[in-house]
Amino acid sequence: MGRQVNAVVFTPQERHGSGRGLVMARRAWGGAALVAAVAVLLSACTQSVPGVARFERPDVSKVAGLEITTGESGPKPGVPDADLAVENGDGGEMDRLAINALADVEEYWTEQLPANFGGKKFEPVKRLVSYDSTGRGVDICRTNTAGVANAFYCSLDDSIAWDRGDLLPMLNDAFGPMSVVTVLAHEMGHAVQYKLGSEGGVTQATPSIIKEQQADCYAGNFFRWVAEGKSRHFRISTGPGLNQVLATMFFIRDAAGTSAEKQGAHGSAFDRVAAFQFGFAGDPKRCAQIDDAEIKARITQQAFDADDKDTGQGKGNLAVDDRRSLDLLEDSLRDAYKQSGATPPALKEGAAECADAQETSPVSYCPATNVIAVDLPELVRIGTPPKRGQKGGIGDFAAFAEIASRFALSIQKATGYPLEGPAAGLRTACLTGAWAGTTTKQTARLKLSSGDLDEAVAELLADKSLIAADVNGTVVPSGFARVEAFRDGFFEGSGLCTRKYSG
């Protein structure tokens, strides 16, 4: 975050890879990978944004209408491998995983393309190419693949290629086999764009961020089909399984500070997860509707600005234990929730002592005393970005948002909302997102920096996320629902939170 003073990119248009984030995020992932393994309260609310669902009270036991499940995710046992022609393959585990994924994705689009686009027939891609980026390269799409740890679709010869030597094993080891399926479903989304042409709202001249958002959305379409049990080779739970898919989207994000207007931009984690969720909850026609107007209204990815100084924690990160930072945070929270009329909670450093709620380190809220207790050393750990190649925390926004979530519980108590249960957790995530939305204003004393919302995604996907936890630290089981609630608050404001997540 920033203080308000005085208050491997593929450049040719024909090639669409899974993103620079596959390289950049791998370098910066560190502890975030482990973290992710990764009555109206306020009358004011922000302007409605295209792409953000209108108010509909959710069933907290479901994800986009599907029951939250915790079963196995990955390849179905005992199902024969698909028989697709692949160039340069080695017949190993990664190639079999990729082939089965692409076979199922092709089956999905063979069914859904004509159903959603006026009977248009889906033609399978013409070439599938496997390569090992750590060995001798192959020539495809005007490049040699030596050292290219990526997966991509190429419209020049209607092909999909993947790196079985580095990228796919790394994804599989970090996030499980469904991460590989995620990346290849995204690449097939680019193939769908090419085959739809203008009917899909995309041309060669379309900015990359629109193409990438659509492809992420199309991947979400496919995963809904998998979650409904229709995939021949794969299964996924809507709880931990989808959490791992969203963690994969986090991993392949653009690096903080990358402008969405830059050619080759793929999107921040916050924006990529949103597009995937729109696809999971909607149909392919929804994905084809993602256009320049929606991107301009909804995309949060931005370059660093003049206020994003490097204070020793990396650009855009404040020292969490800096007294000035904590004072600005408290002022920011008071300003965000002042229209509630509630007495703001007191913040104290040290152990939580509470008769009517459990400790939720590193930040605990006690309803009986209206006090937030902060374990500052542990909060500093969470708020310190990991150094390259090392384990560590997430970043300053993740730490500040955990305090904000407990502050939001205080406001809920004052306005008569229950503080326990899944609805309380989602309402808390939404209200924390609403606070985050206020930090985008030019007049904000504590301002959102590039990468901050990605830190929120990392925290929200953590097993012990506080942003989406009730007063006792009980976490909403679905990471999908946690991120969605936070995004609701960020774009729509606090008024929506207390209506949509009233319980």
> pLDDT tens across 177-228, in order?
999 999 999 999 999 999 998 899 998 899 999 999 999 999 999 999 999 9
The pLDDT of residue 256 is 83
101 and 173 within one domain:
yes
373 has a pLDDT exceeding 90: yes
The pLDDT of residue 7 is 27
311 has a pLDDT exceeding 60: yes
In a domain, 18, yes or no: no
Map tokens 């680019």 to a residue: 190
The pLDDT of residue 22 is 31
In a domain, 43, yes or no: no
Map tokens 């290219």 to a residue: 148
- % of the chain with per-residue pLDDT over 90: 75
287 and 330 within one domain:
no
Distance CA 317, CA 259 (A): 18
Stretch 267-279: mean pLDDT, rounded?
A: 97
Residue pLDDT, tens place only, 416-436 = 999 999 999 999 999 999 999
Domain that holds residue 471: 323-500
Distance CA 169, CA 448 (A): 35
271 and 373 within one domain:
no
How many other CB atoms are there within 10 angstroms of residue 170's CB atom?
Answer: 17
How many CA within 13 A on the CB side of residue 337? 33
The DSSP code sequence of 294-354 is HHHHH-------TT----SS-TT---TT-HHHHHHHHHHHHHHHGGG-PPPPEEEES----
- % of the chain with per-residue pLDDT over 70: 87
In the chain, the number of structural domains is 2
In a domain, 466, yes or no: yes
313 has a pLDDT exceeding 70: no
Tokens encoding 374:
């902060």
Tokens encoding 386:
């990991």
281 and 337 within one domain:
no
244 and 380 within one domain:
no
Map tokens 């086999």 to a residue: 177
pLDDT band at 258 (very low <50, low <70, confident <90, very high): confident
How many other CB atoms are there within 10 angstroms of residue 166's CB atom?
Answer: 18
380 and 257 within one domain:
no
In a domain, 108, yes or no: yes
335 and 260 within one domain:
no
pLDDT band at 445 (very low <50, low <70, confident <90, very high): confident
pLDDT band at 142 (very low <50, low <70, confident <90, very high): very high
231 has a pLDDT exceeding 50: yes
